[in-house]
Structure 1
Amino acid sequence: MAEERSRKNKKKMKKWVKVTLIILAILVVALGAYIFSVYHSLSDALHTMHQPIRETSDKRTEKVALEEKDPFSVLLLGVDERSGDRGRSDTMIVMAVNPTKESIEMISIPRDTRTEIVGKGTEDKINHAYAFGGVEMSINTVENFFDIPIDYFIQVNMEGFQEIVDAVGGVTVTNDLDFTYGGVHFPEGTLTLNGDEALLYSRMRKEDPRGDFGRQLRQRSIIEAVIKEGASLNTLTNYGDIFTALGNNVKTNLTFSEMIDIQKNYKQAAKDMEQHQINGHGSTINGIYYYIVPDEEKAKLQQLLKEQLEITE
């Protein structure tokens, strides 16, 4: 009898082992299909996003080696692109990333900043560089303004930004100014915004006593919230929408392998993100408003970025 019970237990055990193996096989196949689908969607998005420019900045003797953890810089451009119009880069943020210091220095450039437009031969508002010559003229102009190399750029189409926000399921921000814009009321405190609301929230400028600086703060908070939501587990089920939205609205010269290197070697730098604003004053020249940055202010910011990028004179 004991022998028969043992035989039955062994039979049950074999059955459960078989069931378990079948379940594991199904999970492996499903996971493989999921990974293939993710990789395929990601490849399509990266192909659409990738926009190569010059190989190396004139202000560098050697190309940045991300695998060796060299400090690098990024120019973030928020562009209003409309049909038949290249638009202007109303958002310009320079980020200097240093993995040794585990920090990122961020400087927002006011769109009305008067400076030399490199390649145009005139002084104008810095955001006009994009309208005159696209990404490359914007990069050259910012390099000249800060006297540093710009290694990479990320261009976001603000007209389609709501598509990205909706793809990650909305964003949560902390609002420090009660205002109404575009028929939507934004009270002070923690707000959860959909794509349309996030676009309005990031565009308001005239009702903010801080003007363009206030708008830059809101734009940065939206971008940071998108990155946070995009990295969360909640986005695993709608990765297709996210990759499609990125492919439609983001351009960059970063390659896939460079993105992997940054994720692997530089993620600690995001722990310490310092934001700076450019001090200056408004002035009307020939009937046009400009933001004038004093030479000493520009020199101070140039030194800050050079130290962060470990650039020696």
Structure 2
Amino acid sequence: METTQRHTPKKKRKGLKIFLIILVVILAAITAYGYSIYHNINKAVSTVHKPIERTPEVKRPTDLQLTKREPFSVLLLGVDERPGDRGRSDTMIVMTVNPDKKSMEMLSIPRDTRVTLVGRGTEDKINHAYAFGGVEMSMNTVERFLDIPIDYYIKMNMEGFKDIVDSVGGVTVNNDLEFSAGGTTFPKGKIDLNGADALSYARMRKQDSRGDFGRQLRQRQIIQGVINKGANISALWKYDEILKAISKNVETNISFDEMLDIQKNYADARHNIEQLQIAGTGKMIHNGKQNIWYYIVSDEERTKVQNRLKEHLGL
């Protein structure tokens, strides 16, 4: 099942997850350069490793065991952070990985989706969960909304997007919509982007009739471009710049050992990646002070998506 926003054509698109940026660098660098590089990568990953203590909304029957190739899930958060402001999650993608099926599924959740915020008990936009309660509230709210366990999170500072792009020497994307943003015009077709342009490209929404869905596509293109460059052996000569950019802009509760387990036991899954979107309709709702636009997902659609993800997780 692939669901899309109303009036938006159904599409299957290739994409990859943010933490593969780290995993690709780990695997290739260890192979090419040996222990000294391994030590530096271990140190960098230790910097981004941020464990989180929380009580899950949806618990697994038993603890997840990566060594047994059990399916797992990750919440990807692209966060707009500024000095003195925690910010909001500009991007929310839930990824499920099933090594037996050799597949990954990535569900983009529109940031305006109306949900119950766990810990506040109020109906609000799902991206406000991060503003009110950080990673913990975001994970718990997504768990309750989708009724699946969220095993890991990866948070990336969207402002630091450009640092990561620049660290690999820029990216190439295939743009399907001509538009201007951030003082730059982006024509249709294959275009090369530096870090600043990549950030503008990934953030644009208002000129795209697909709204959040179009922006999510462009963000996945940038991530794919970074991974393609990061996996290129020539990029390893700049591994130090890549690791610095990751260290400054990425946080995750995936440990170094878990990353190695994922690379060892789940590598086949990355070759079959399906992008999912959740269908809904826009609606203005009065909250007592003003009318606010929300993305409303029906109970029927929500159940369909929940069942799809549960099946992929073997639950």
Q: For the superposition of Structure 1 and Structure 2, which TM-score range results when normalised by the shorter chain? A: 0.7 to 0.9
Counterpart CA distance in 1 for 2:51 and 2:188 is 41
Equivalent residue number for residue 37 of structure 2: 38
Counterpart CA distance in 2 for 1:230 and 1:154 is 18
Counterpart CA distance in 1 for 2:274 and 2:68 is 24
Q: Does 1:309 align with 2:309?
A: no
Alpha carbons 1:119, 1:137 under 8 Å: kept: yes
Counterpart CA distance in 2 for 1:81 and 1:275 is 26
Equivalent residue number for residue 297 of structure 1: 301
Aligned amino acid, residue 109 of structure 1: I
Whose helix fraction is larger, Structure 1's or Structure 2's? 1
Superposition misfits of 4+ residues, deviation over 3 angstroms? 31-37, 54-58
Aligned amino acid, residue 297 of structure 2: V
Alpha carbons 1:56, 1:62 under 8 Å: kept: no
If asked which structure has higher relative contact order (CA below 8 Å, sep 6+), I would say 2
Deviations 1:158-187 (CA, angstroms, capped at 9, x unpaired):
011100011111111111101111110111
Query: Which structure's CA Rg is the greater one?
Result: 1
Deviations 1:1-34 (CA, angstroms, capped at 9, x unpaired):
xxxxxxxxxxxxxxxxxxxxxxxxxxxxxx9995
Give 1:235 deviation, angstroms. Answer: 1.4
Counterpart CA distance in 2 for 1:205 and 1:32 is 40
Deviations 1:202-260 (CA, angstroms, capped at 9, x unpaired):
00000001111100110111112212221221211011000110000000000011100
Give 1:40 deviation, angstroms. Answer: 3.5
Question: Secondary structure in 2 aligned to 1:141?
Answer: helix
Aligned amino acid, residue 48 of structure 1: T
Q: TM-score, normalised by structure 2?
A: 0.86
Equivalent residue number for residue 214 of structure 2: 214
Alpha carbons 2:46, 2:256 under 8 Å: kept: no
- CA 1:301 to 1:33, structure 2 compared with 1: closer, same or farther past 3 Å? closer
Alpha carbons 1:105, 1:273 under 8 Å: kept: yes
Alpha carbons 1:38, 1:240 under 8 Å: kept: no
Give 1:55 deviation, angstroms. Answer: 7.5
- CA 1:231 to 1:173, structure 2 compared with 1: closer, same or farther past 3 Å? same
Question: Secondary structure in 2 aligned to 1:88?
Answer: strand
Alpha carbons 2:283, 2:296 under 8 Å: kept: yes
Q: Does 1:90 align with 2:94?
A: no
Equivalent residue number for residue 53 of structure 1: 52
Runs of 5+ unmatched residues, structure 1: 1-30
Matches within 5 A, 1:167-206: 167-206=167-206
